Structure formats: structure tokens, C-alpha cells
């Protein structure tokens, strides 16, 4: 079984692109622990990426997900030399950069029938793929778009599929996987549908980016993981209390309705051994306290 995998050491270069680490060529090892990871959106928006990485490493995280977009925190205009600085810093800190977060699809959805918007979404996602390769990341988070009252589900599906297929050559060239995330977009709600959507792309560089907390309103993350299987290339660790029924339901890890023992069992069953990347916003008064809570919770989850 092929899985998307991240480890701290050793580093293995790709055969075809020496500058990119190929996590997929590393064999699973009995007893290897998943990594505690954190997303850049957990830090204040004005905190430079290097400072955020240093703080994450100091507090004991093993991986870090940089986030890119028009408005940052990491700009899409980041150059190869600037990416090299970030990559070198991560290596010095002992941090893996397993994935690249983006919210491009909210503003420029791949589901849209508007060719101008779709083209912008394709162009920016292609930029993110290139940046991910420079950083040595193995996947890019993709929000595919949304179903709306003005856009039917079937049309959204066909539009997203066509536009994603346009990105497959770039993904295969860079060796970076397009990770389709389950988000609150009224689209690809079923793991069966997500599985079939990914399979229609017919590329090992299109996979599923599973967000555990986002699923709780309409499903069970452990079921999604088992059905998606080897297609799972990345995981956002979040928790959610269903009784809230809205955005206020997102709570700290292990405080919500995610069945973490079952999630961990499912991850082990499908052979996922990469980073569990927490996606949380900073606390109002102390980012560091929030990060300590997240890291402690991730360690407890991984030990289940």
C-alpha cells in the first residue's frame, strides 16, 4: 500500500528531483510514531513564518504546516530562494514541513462556472504546488469550492473535476499531492463520493486531506478514513461539539465528539504514519498557552 508519509530523519532524496524529499519511498516501520504538527494559522497573522517555526519547535512540535495565500501569512509570491531559507530553518529546528495549507478555493473555487475565477484558482493552486516542492512538502491542501443555491451539485462536481484535472500535470511534475479537504462547503460530503471523485482524477498525486473536526456535523471521521484508505495524504486534527451546530462547536482536541481511539485505530489500519496537524486559531491572550494545550493533546491522541 502506498501512503503519504512524513518522518523527521533520515531524509531521502527523490531519484528524479534530487532537491525534493520523497516521503512516499520511505517504508513504514513497526512502532514509528505519528508526528505532532501545527498549522501556521494557529499563530498571530503578523508573526513572521521563521518566528512561528521557532516557537513551534521550542514547544515540542515535530512538524509545521506553512500556509500560503494572496493575503499570506506566506505570500504566493514567495521565491525559490525565500523558500530555501524556510526549508533550511526547518531542518535546523528539526521540523518536518509535510504539507502546505491554502484557502485559495474559497475565493477562487474550482467548482465555479465562471472561467475567469476558475482560471485564477488553477493558477494560484499551481503556484502553491511549486512552492510546496521548493519547501520539500509532500501535499497542498485544496478547498475545491462550494455548492450554492445558484450552482447545482452536479454542475459543481463536473466543474471541480475538470479544473482539478487541469492541475494534475503540475502536481505530477512537482511530485506534490493535491489534498482535497472536507470542509463546510456542501460538497463531497460522503466518503464514498470523495473516494470516487479522487479516483476519477486517475493520479497518485490527487488524494484526500481529512479534517476530523469538520466531519462531525454530518459523519464520523473514522469511517471516512477507512473508506478513503490509501488516498489519505494528510490529516488536520480538530475537534467539534455537535450540539453547538455552528462554528462555535470547534473546541480543543479531546473536548469534543471526535472518537479519537477509533480515529487512531483507523489511521493505523490504513497505514497512515504522517503528521497530525492541528488547525486552531490563537487564543485571545496567549498563543503559547494554546500551543501547549494542542501539543499535549496531540501527544495523548497519538499514544491511544
Question: Tell me: the pLDDT tens digits for 124-140?
Answer: 999 999 999 999 999 99
- The predicted structure's pLDDT at residue 10: 31
Domain boundaries, the chain: 32-70+78-302
- The predicted structure's pLDDT at residue 17: 33
- The predicted structure's pLDDT at residue 33: 79
Q: What is the 3-state secondary structure (H, E, C) of the chain?
A: CCCCCCCCCCCCECCCCCCCECHHHCCCCCCCCCEEEEEHHHCCCCCCHHHHHHHHHHCCCCEEEEEEECCCCEECCCCHHHHHHHHHHHHHHCCECCEEEECHHHHCCCCCCCHHHHHHHHHHHHHHHHHHHHHCCCEEEECCCCCECCECHHHHHHHHHHHHHHHHHHHHHHCCEEEEECCCCCCCCCHHHHHHHHHHHCCCCEEEEEEHHHHCCCCCHHHHHHHHHHHEEEEEECEECHHHCCHHHEECCCCCCCCHHHHHHHHHHCCCCCEEEECCCCCCCCHHHHHHHHHHHHHHHHCC
- The predicted structure's pLDDT at residue 231: 98
- The predicted structure's pLDDT at residue 71: 87
Span 21-31, pLDDT tens digits: 333 333 323 34
**Residue ranges of the chain with per-residue pLDDT less than 70:** 1-32
Q: What is the CATH code for 32-70+78-302? A: 3.20.20.150
Amino acid at each position: 500500500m502506498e501512503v503519504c508519509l512524513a518522518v523527521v530523519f533520515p531524509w531521502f532524496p527523490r531519484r528524479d528531483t534530487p532537491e525534493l524529499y520523497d516521503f512516499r519511498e520511505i517504508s513504514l516501520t513497526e512502532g514509528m510514531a505519528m508526528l505532532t504538527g501545527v498549522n501556521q494559522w494557529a499563530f498571530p497573522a503578523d508573526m513572521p513564518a521563521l518566528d512561528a517555526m521557532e516557537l513551534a519547535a521550542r514547544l515540542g512540535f515535530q512538524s509545521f504546516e506553512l500556509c500560503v495565500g494572496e493575503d499570506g501569512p506566506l505570500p504566493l509570491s514567495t521565491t525559490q530562494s525565500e523558500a530555501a531559507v524556510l526549508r533550511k530553518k526547518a531542518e535546523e529546528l528539526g521540523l518536518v514541513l509535510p504539507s502546505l495549507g491554502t484557502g485559495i478555493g474559497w475565493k477562487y473555487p474550482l467548482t465555479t462556472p465562471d472561467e475567469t475565477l476558475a482560471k485564477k484558482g488553477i493558477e494560484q493552486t499551481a503556484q502553491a504546488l511549486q512552492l510546496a516542492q521548493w519547501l520539500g512538502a509532500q501535499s497542498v491542501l485544496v478547498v475545491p469550492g462550494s455548492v450554492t443555491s445558484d450552482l447545482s451539485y452536479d454542475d459543481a462536481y463536473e466543474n471541480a473535476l475538470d479544473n482539478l484535472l487541469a492541475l494534475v500535470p503540475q502536481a505530477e511534475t512537482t511530485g506534490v499531492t493535491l489534498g482535497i479537504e472536507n470542509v463546510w462547503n456542501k460538497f463531497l460530503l460522503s466518503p464514498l463520493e470523495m473516494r470516487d471523485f479522487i479516483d476519477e482524477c486517475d493520479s497518485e498525486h490527487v488524494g484526500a486531506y481529512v479534517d476530523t473536526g469538520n466531519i462531525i456535523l454530518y459523519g464520523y471521521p473514522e469511517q471516512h478514513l477507512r473508506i478513503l484508505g490509501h488516498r489519505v495524504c494528510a490529516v488536520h486534527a480538530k475537534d467539534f461539539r455537535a450540539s453547538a451546530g455552528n462554528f462555535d462547536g470547534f473546541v480543543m482536541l479531546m473536548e469534543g465528539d471526535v472518537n479519537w481511539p477509533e480515529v487512531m485505530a483507523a489511521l493505523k489500519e490504513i497505514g497512515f504514519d504522517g503528521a497530525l496537524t492541528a488547525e486552531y486559531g490563537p487564543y485571545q491572550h496567549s498563543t503559547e498557552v494554546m500551543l501547549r494545550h494542542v501539543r499535549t493533546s496531540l501527544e495523548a491522541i497519538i499514544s491511544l
